[in-house]
Amino acid sequence: MTLKTVHSVAELRAVVAGWRARGLRVALVPTMGALHAGHISLTDHVRNHADRVIVSIFVNPTQFGPNEDFGAYPRTLPDDQKMLDAAGVELCFAPSVEEMYPDGFATRVSVDGSFTNVLCGASRPGHFDGVAQIVTKLLLQALPDCAIFGQKDYQQLMVIRRFTTDLNIPVEIIGAPILREDDGLAMSSRNRYLTPEERAIAPTLDRVLGEITKAAARGAEIAPLLSKGREDILNAGFKSIDYLEIRDADTLERVEDRVRKRSRVFVAAHLGKARLIDNHAIDPINITG
């Protein structure tokens, strides 16, 4: 195994310092582990921007709510290490909770406004404070030239871009395309929660978003599209829907009537034990207002 794994900030910084001394560019791929092909695609994508790649693996307790799946979230470090080694990743940073949040830790990072009080921010209160906190720590610990995040978590990407800009953190934030299974289901570690029967239902989200995207791009009225989409998702067997909305791709403001500029349709829905999220880009076609 050529992959090196470290568990402390001091070890991480020592490796990065050695790379810096050789004039190498460094990329960070933050993850919570339970890696899949989507994560590996991030490491491949970021090779265009850096000479060395760090993948962090840390299930961050501060971004989970009290009734969410922190305890059940899959932890598969040995398998993750094999995948990273096969992908040619140079360094895995796998700290403990005690390393990241030692006794006396008392600092919070919070992002206010439209990026955090809608969509997952509304249905998972405090989630993005936890995301902002851990990503800020990782960026300051590794001091990479760039960090990459998948667009499946598009709102998270927007939040991270906001606070890195606001806090003048010297890092390039890269968004990578969503990687999907052959049947359209967005790759996610939480897909492991699905039973075979639920797994057959799950691609409904991609299908419904695709239908909404095509119609909205051609100027269809939004409300009927979303109403039918909710009906189709629930009829397929999903338990409930946290949201199904079209929002501006740059501001995350809700688009109420018709799509007239670059937007995205977002969904979060519950299927069995899994909460699945997905989104599609909408680029309007011949919309004149």
Q: How many CA atoms lie within 13 A of 260 on its CB side?
A: 7
The residue annotated as part of the active site, out of 36, 39, 49, 280, is 39
Structure tokens at 112: 């206010």
Catalytic residue status for 270: no
Cα–Cα dist 150/177, whole Å: 6
Interior angle at CA 259, CA 257 and CA 117, nearest 5: 75
Contact call for residues 173 and 136 (beta carbons, < 8 A): no
User: What is the side-by-side strand order in the sheet with 274-282?
Assistant: 240-248, 263-271, 274-282
- Rg of the chain over Cα atoms, rounded to whole angstroms, equals 19
Contact call for residues 276 and 204 (beta carbons, < 8 A): no
Cα–Cα dist 236/23, whole Å: 53
Interior angle at CA 144, CA 140 and CA 146, nearest 5: 120
* Cβ neighbour number for residue 33 with a 10 Å cutoff: 21
Cα 238–chain centre separation: 22
Burial 204-232 (b: 16+ CB within 10 A, else e): bbbbbbebbbebbbeeeebeebbeebbeb
Using the 8-state DSSP alphabet, how is residue 116 labeled? T
Residues carrying an active site annotation: 39
